[in-house]
Structure 1
Amino acid sequence: MAARLKQRGEQLRLGGPPPGRAWCEAWSDAVDEALVALSSSVLDSHRLAVVAVGGYGRRELCPGSDVDLLLLHDRLERQELEFVVRRIVYPLWDAGLTVGYAVRNRREAIGAIDDVDTATSMLELRTVCGDRGLASLVQVEVLRRLRQRPHKFLESLRRADTDRKRKAGDAAEAIEPDLKSGAGGLRDVQSLSWAAAALVGVSGLDPLVPAGYLGATDRPRLVHARERLLAARVALHLEVADRATSTPVKSEVLRLESQDAVAARLGFVDRGEHDLAAHDLMRELILAARVIDHVHRRAWSLIDADLARGARRRRRPTEREHDGFELVDGVLRLPDGLDLGTTELPTRLLAALADTGAVLDRGSAARLRRLVEDGEPGWAWTDTQRERFVRVLWRGGVMVPALAELDDVGLLTAMLPEWEPLRGRPQRNPYHRYALDRHAWHAAANLGDLVRRESWAAEALRRVDDREGLLLGVLLHDVGKAVGEPHSETGVPLARSIATRMGAAASTVELVGRLVRLHLLIPDAARKHDVTDPALARALAAEVGDASTLACLHLLAAADGRATGPTAWSAWTGSLVQTLITKVDAVLDEQDGNGARDLEHEAAVETVREAQRLAPELGAEAAAVREHLALLPTRYARSVSPRAVVRHTLMALLPPGATEVRTRVTPGEDLAAPTGAQGHVDELDVVALDHPGWFAKVAGVVALHGGSILAADAFSREDGLAVDTFRVLPPDGAAGAWWAAVEGDLADAAAGKLAIRARVLRQARASAWRPSPAGDVPTRITATPDPAGRSTSIEVHTMDRVGVLYAIATALAELELDIVVARIQTLGREVVDVFSVRDADGNPLDADHLSELELAVAGAIAELGGN
């Protein structure tokens, strides 16, 4: 029987129904048939019911699902029960299935419902074979007890929902959604079905409609969304099984590397460069998960109100009125006589929802949805409508749920048809946590929250001439992604069109377009170039044009970065952007006639002054500090802190030997963590005789010990000393002994006593890295000139693996290139390394040099294996 069941599973996997409910039911039927055959001899002599529970009970058995069984008996002895388990369960294990089972008599089964997981599984009993009356008695009694004590069960179910979502995340927004357990996932639908058992005495979605917890239109929307997620879950299980083994494998998270294959299994096809099959799949799943999440939250708001009152919900008089809307128990209702075609209804409703934090009444939502679907609702943008919309957006995070309510019934796209392509559009990269439309909402919310909570943002806002233009620019900064790249260019006409539709002034429309075009200017420059370079500040000032626009771009960068995610914005990223903004602002101030300023000289003088003041406190002489600074380029004095100047002075007091390296580690609690870093980031200072390849040696040693370099600044003194600073993320659990080992190996590397290259290659090839089933991240190398014309920015995208930074740095050293600044990011399985480099003569790279650089870097990475 085990072989036959395994063969049937293989047939379904290779040529069964399309992924979805039909596949699940076919597989459930196959397991049913096996259980009937396995149980036949047992049932002849024992009063027993073989009962399917959970997903198997619902006949939603996915390829990798557990087969959950309840073996329900009537006073069988232990020896008899052991025989039953061997006869029924063991063959299923032999067939490669994951089987969860419980053996209980009727009293034990009923008594187990104090555990919420057991109780919910008992609500979906389905007798496969045996004594059906026995199972029916248990189910009837379980329902009776839950109906008698609904509060305890519902509160337990509510807590379980909250815990599950906290662990699994948001299926409606995550780039890698948990289809089963995430917020908006399949478990949310099941949770509502289980809640019905305690609320009305019968589990399922249908009983919730006449009881008032689901609207008549909610149920079909919920079912349609559930079926889309179920089909994706089946396709995912099949895909993972094909990659791993012929035995189905359980997987609930739709990873980036599986999305193309799952899309293909579900019939999606690429329709163009910006309309890929996986994008269409993920958009469908995001929108489906939003429906589930929205209906689930609205239903639970009613359930929670009933729990608080201790009685079932019935029609009640209005508790209070808000701007003409009725507010009852956290639910906002449109009065029956309200004219839904009133011009300014959408923004009045948005404001009311934001003010109260309420959800929209299901009947009101259905009325609005019908009006939108019928077309021509009569709404239009007026000055009052636009101003109210902008005011709500300025309120920050409280406006996001309010916008979601309007989005769910179609009001947003009815008012702004250009918004439709943004809805649910996935951003399939490790940077972004939200789909395109929700990213825009959260960016606008961040702006409102920033200017209220952070003093620098409030100060920046005071310098903005057109606050409406700023907020609309933040909301619309990424609209071009729905059209194509580069989105900072494609988005300009679309953003201007939306602002114009809203009735914004011509100057506001112009500012919105300018902000969309320039929104990446400052953060990209901060990430790729030396932010302390005055020439860079002057080049950017020419692009920005005026102080008000600069303040807008600063606020936009912070709001956008924080909405994107921790890999795109951190305290360290913010400090880089702030430094650059300060430099650009000084240039604009100079251009406004406030006097020419030598920014480079000012920064250097201040550092020199402070370093000399600190010198005695830190054990150095002021004269030694001055001598040290005199041997370094001005860039050094404006790039490092006064304390670092003194540290370096002490390290360089005596000339090091030809093979000597001096190191010093500053613990991470004193430092700001760079982009994407988790844990303490330590600062490693290195002083040694300068020669090509020092950066690579440090990178290699750190990699051999499991650490990661996140940023670096390199300087050369006139006397031939290299003074380099590295920001290093040690491995988890590393302590002082880890740094001692690193420093010891650095000394050996300097003396030529460590085979770094051979060790890195051996470790890289022996590491746990494996090619992704969806294909490797291809190595891409791009070069852009420094806006100041002093260096060349080299950006390397490649697969993360042991030694990749060492390989790149070695290639740069082979070409006698000077690394001025380095910024390193790890984004999932991809790394993005940016180097500001100059040739041996201190100049930017020419075309021939760039060609050789690409060849050298690609070759060095290929040696590690993978691409």
Structure 2
Amino acid sequence: MTSDHAAGTTAPGPPAATAVAAGLRRRRQELVDAGPPAGRAWCEAWSAEVDDALGRLSAPAVADHRLAVVAVGGYGRRELCPGSDLDLLILHDRLEQPALEHVVRQVVYPLWDAGMAVGYAVRDRREAIGAVDDLDTATAMLDLRTVAGDRGLVQSVHVEVLRRLRQRPHRFLTALRRADDERRRKAGDAAEALEPDLKNGAGGLRDVQSLAWAAAALVGVRGLDALVPAGYLGAADRPRLVHARERLLTARVALHLEAARTAGAALRGKHEVLRLDLQDAVARQLGYEDRDEHSLAAHELLRELFLAARTVDHVHRRAWSLIDADLARGARRRRRPTEREHDDFELVDGVLRLPAAQDLDASGLPGRLFTALADTGAVLDRSSAARLRRHVEDGRPGWHWSDPERDRFVRVLWRGGVMLSALAELDDVGVLTAMLPEWEPLRGRPQRNPYHRYSLDRHAWHAVAALGDLVRRESWAAETLRLVEDREGLLLGVLLHDVGKAVGEPHAQTGVPLARAIATRMGAAPGTIDLVARLVRLHLLLPDAARRRDVTDPELLGELADAVGDRSTLACLHLLAAADGLATGPTAWSPWTASLLHTLITKVSAVLDDQDDAATASDREREAAVATVREAQRLAPELGADAALVREHLALLPTRYARSVSPRAVVRHTLMAAHAPGATEVRTRVTPGEDLAVDDGRVDELDVVALDHPGWFAKVAGVVALHAGSILAADAFSREDGLAVDTFKVRPPEGATGAWWVAVEGDLAEAAAGKLAIRARVLRQARAVTRRSGGGNDVPTTITAQLDGAGRATLVEVRTRDRVGVLYAIATALAELELDIVVARIQTLGREVVDVFSVRDADGRPLDEDHLGELHLAVAGAIEEVAGTT
């Protein structure tokens, strides 16, 4: 409802009104602290308190005038949650403006004084009825309830509103459908999102309310009950829908209560998204308990909510399929004739129904149904869904896997995203778990980390969909698929790659027997089962190496080639990694991570090609370096350098340099290092990124040449952080003449132009000359951001270290909350210990950063135990400082 007055313009009321406001504020806090359990009982208790307060506040007005104070919206339904707005309609019979203003001061102002967010409208009977042309007003008035005053006046408006909607349903239902679609698009899917929107998301509470409102225009009575005899809901749908609604409402109340307690007395503000940092507290409030380390209270809560939201979503979609058909074709009959048949299934009004004579135990029924749903894009009609669900719940399915059934299932999965709704239909009625009982633990299981956007089973579905879409849309994926010898094994490996998460970590190991069991149940060939198991076991191998290791290290490449074994398996792992990353989310997969993986795959493939020649790691390293040297010398004249100077530059650097950088970079560095820089001089050069868009930005390459000392990486990281850029990777090299040659992959902030790099390079020069207080500036900026964002420390800091594969350096991995200056803090701590950063890989995963450094001590050796202890202390302390906790 719209408000005629701003909430901050309250005027002092008479003593009675002041007492009512104080009492309402006190009673609200009592309910927050020790009221009924979260759920409908709490809402009704709070609604009753507000009813009582409004009755007292409006008593003088309703005694003197013909008017009514009306609850609308959620308050009208008695679903007033702790953080809900209070929506009111003051309905009158031709009162003058001065009298109305006095009523508003009497009724609404004290509610503001009580700290409530009040939206109100003041209308006479004609205005109220005319306002139903606005969708928000119409839906609010469908839930109206008289709190005080003339009930006859309210009833006459309610009857006329229903009559008008029933006379002109098309306009209202079309607007409601459009608003539903837009709301669901913006809020996302409550049935699978890590942080579900309990009210507005697809499958949320608003979907239930939408169906109740639609009933008013369809049958002239608001509510779910009216939709059952009208045929829009099945008799079995209503109890399922009500149960799901109550679960969602209970969680919403608990969320509001937790947000209120966290914020103290303040209850204003929208709290519809169950944020990650509130999930544990909400779960405890609702009585969930940790069963073990793999079944935490918050996991159980989210799983119930996901499954409840799926029920709401399915019932909502089925009902609206029929409503849409009526909008397009006029009033519906009890049973429309079949428009056409699809594989003996009947298609009518956009829904697929099983013929009455269909034998539910017929061989191949699940696969035929899956195919038909994917072919038509339809949903199951309510009676067919109810029949199938009862059949599954009775434990009578006689279905079994056969080669044709498995082939059909796999062919549909290969279609990509178009099969997702069909798969969801099978899941909703229990067909999927009837065919694959081992799948049940995955259903609705949350993945509570900041970069997974889907629940466990939906993540698997989306990974398969991504695979199918990739091989049709991306030329590299189509070429890679040609190398795959067992495509069924690849697809099943993608579907089952994360099944171990339902059992426990490390899921790449725990998932192997479960994946074997599922593939065996499906009747896959022994070779396919072995491939599926191998893909599950190795699915993290290449992505982890690309993000954490030096992808040019020949020892690493040999190790990976031995683990993978052949080019077909390598191709499978490449496609699996891409599909897995795309299904995980943009923080886990981007063109930058794709490019890292592609580079690694290319080099491992070359090793596999060379294995028949018994080439050693040293041979491969030497060959790669020689190729770079030759190409750099060839390019030198073209780029303004002398070939002899290129050779001298290369001779001063380790072999790793020649196999790590491009020939063009070799020439650039040669020119930058042609003359020795001064003691405080830094030389920089920026090469714009090509085809490496990340989100809406890009990745540029920054070359830095200066006299070598351990603090250079930290200074560059600090300056880039001050300018709101991000370092994604770095390679550092030391020449024998004491010159440092470093290359950084940098993502500028969105919208940055060439002027941004000019400013960065200028500050780097100031930093090199000791004229820029980097540490003080970074800390000030970090603390300013922390104050604006409210801080938060929901991501713990962990620091781990191990030898690299070749035993030549120590790999240090730091996981912590993403915040301004964290990379600078880590690099400064490493510099304090005089460690040489050889390679760095920087990744942001949601709220978490995962920074991996390959480091050596001042003598060029891996770190010993004492040094590692000091490293932990230094890095942890630096992160605490930049977080503003010390």
TM range (shorter): over 0.9
2:824 is matched with which residue? 806
Q: Deviations over 1:309-332 (max 9, x none)?
A: 133354122111111211113211
Distance 1:364 1:7 in 2: 52
Pick one of 571, 575, 598 that aligns with 1:578: 598
Matched, 1:98 2:124: no
Q: Secondary structure at the match of 1:843?
A: coil
Displacement, 1:746? 1.5
Aligned-residue Cα RMSD (Å) equals 2.0
Distance 1:859 1:506 in 2: 53
2:389 is matched with which residue? 369
Distance 1:176 1:779 in 2: 22
1:495 is matched with which residue? 515
Matched, 1:446 2:466: yes
Q: Deviations over 1:821-861 (max 9, x none)?
A: 21222233322111122333433334343233222211222
Matched, 1:821 2:842: no
Pick one of 667, 686, 689 that aligns with 1:665: 686
Q: Give 1:644's aligned amino acid.
A: A
2:233 touches 2:382 (CA, 8 Å); kept in 1?
A: yes
Structure 1 residues 763 and 458: CA distance shift in structure 2, 3 A: closer
Displacement, 1:216? 1.0
2:587 touches 2:846 (CA, 8 Å); kept in 1?
A: no
Q: Give 1:261's aligned amino acid.
A: A
Distance 1:723 1:774 in 2: 38
Distance 1:586 1:727 in 2: 25
1:473 is matched with which residue? 493
Displacement, 1:377? 1.3
Pick one of 627, 642, 656 that aligns with 2:648: 627
Q: Give 2:363's aligned amino acid.
A: T
Q: Give 1:183's aligned amino acid.
A: A
Distance 1:127 1:617 in 2: 85
Q: Deviations over 1:316-355 (max 9, x none)?
A: 2211111121111321111100110113211111111112
1:42 is matched with which residue? 61
**Counterpart mapping for 1:509-520 below 5 A:** 509-520=529-540
Q: Give 1:264's aligned amino acid.
A: R
2:319 is matched with which residue? 299
1:843 is matched with which residue? 861
Distance 2:543 2:787 in 1: 31
Distance 2:433 2:787 in 1: 45
Structure 1 residues 703 and 44: CA distance shift in structure 2, 3 A: same
2:190 touches 2:204 (CA, 8 Å); kept in 1?
A: yes
2:547 touches 2:843 (CA, 8 Å); kept in 1?
A: no
Distance 1:146 1:452 in 2: 47
1:235 touches 1:265 (CA, 8 Å); kept in 2?
A: yes
Distance 1:301 1:784 in 2: 57
Gaps of at least 5 residues in structure 2 are 1-19
Displacement, 1:590? 1.9
Q: Secondary structure at the match of 1:44?
A: helix
Pick one of 746, 767, 772 that aligns with 1:754: 772
Distance 2:873 2:442 in 1: 39
Pick one of 729, 734, 739 that aligns with 2:757: 739
**Counterpart mapping for 1:600-639 below 5 A:** 600-639=621-660
Displacement, 1:384? 2.0
2:256 is matched with which residue? 237
Distance 1:534 1:762 in 2: 43
Distance 1:131 1:4 in 2: 26
Displacement, 1:550? 1.3
Displacement, 1:766? 4.2
Displacement, 1:41? 0.4
Larger mean Cα displacement after TM superposition, 711-720 or 645-654: 645-654
Distance 1:84 1:273 in 2: 58
Displacement, 1:678? 4.8
Matched, 1:135 2:154: yes
Q: Give 2:189's aligned amino acid.
A: D
Larger mean Cα displacement after TM superposition, 252-261 or 607-616: 607-616
Q: Secondary structure at the match of 2:38?
A: coil
Structure 1 residues 635 and 272: CA distance shift in structure 2, 3 A: same
Q: Give 2:85's aligned amino acid.
A: D
1:656 is matched with which residue? 677
Q: Give 2:708's aligned amino acid.
A: D
Structure 1 residues 117 and 371: CA distance shift in structure 2, 3 A: same
1:275 is matched with which residue? 295
**Counterpart mapping for 1:370-769 below 5 A:** 370-593=390-613, 598-668=619-689, 670=690, 672-673=692-693, 678-769=696-787
Q: Secondary structure at the match of 1:831?
A: strand
Distance 1:314 1:779 in 2: 62
Q: Give 1:331's aligned amino acid.
A: V
Q: Give 1:634's aligned amino acid.
A: T
Displacement, 1:602? 4.1
Structure 1 residues 713 and 219: CA distance shift in structure 2, 3 A: same
2:47 touches 2:80 (CA, 8 Å); kept in 1?
A: yes
Displacement, 1:615? 4.2
Larger mean Cα displacement after TM superposition, 810-819 or 252-261: 810-819
Q: Give 1:403's aligned amino acid.
A: L
2:255 touches 2:274 (CA, 8 Å); kept in 1?
A: yes
Q: Secondary structure at the match of 2:860?
A: coil
Q: Secondary structure at the match of 2:837?
A: strand
Structure 1 residues 666 and 80: CA distance shift in structure 2, 3 A: farther
Q: Secondary structure at the match of 2:108?
A: helix
Displacement, 1:535? 1.8
Larger mean Cα displacement after TM superposition, 274-283 or 307-316: 307-316
2:793 touches 2:817 (CA, 8 Å); kept in 1?
A: no
Q: Secondary structure at the match of 1:269?
A: coil
Q: Deviations over 1:351-381 (max 9, x none)?
A: 1111211111110000000011111311112
2:174 is matched with which residue? 155
Q: Secondary structure at the match of 2:74?
A: helix
Matched, 1:287 2:307: yes
1:451 touches 1:457 (CA, 8 Å); kept in 2?
A: yes
Larger mean Cα displacement after TM superposition, 590-599 or 137-146: 590-599
Structure 1 residues 277 and 775: CA distance shift in structure 2, 3 A: farther
Displacement, 1:616? 4.6
How many matched pairs?
A: 864
Distance 1:32 1:589 in 2: 78
Q: Secondary structure at the match of 2:679?
A: coil
Larger mean Cα displacement after TM superposition, 585-594 or 9-18: 585-594
Distance 1:426 1:241 in 2: 25
Displacement, 1:613? 4.8
Structure 1 residues 363 and 687: CA distance shift in structure 2, 3 A: same
Distance 1:406 1:773 in 2: 43
1:302 touches 1:313 (CA, 8 Å); kept in 2?
A: no
Q: Give 1:237's aligned amino acid.
A: H
2:696 touches 2:750 (CA, 8 Å); kept in 1?
A: no
1:48 touches 1:74 (CA, 8 Å); kept in 2?
A: yes
**Counterpart mapping for 1:29-428 below 5 A:** 29-249=48-268, 250-428=270-448
Q: Deviations over 1:515-548 (max 9, x none)?
A: 1111100100001001122221101111112222
1:713 touches 1:726 (CA, 8 Å); kept in 2?
A: yes
Distance 1:846 1:474 in 2: 40
2:697 touches 2:749 (CA, 8 Å); kept in 1?
A: no
Distance 1:616 1:591 in 2: 36
1:257 touches 1:773 (CA, 8 Å); kept in 2?
A: no
2:32 is matched with which residue? 13
2:413 touches 2:465 (CA, 8 Å); kept in 1?
A: yes
2:713 touches 2:827 (CA, 8 Å); kept in 1?
A: yes
Gaps of at least 5 residues in structure 1 are none
Q: Give 1:630's aligned amino acid.
A: A
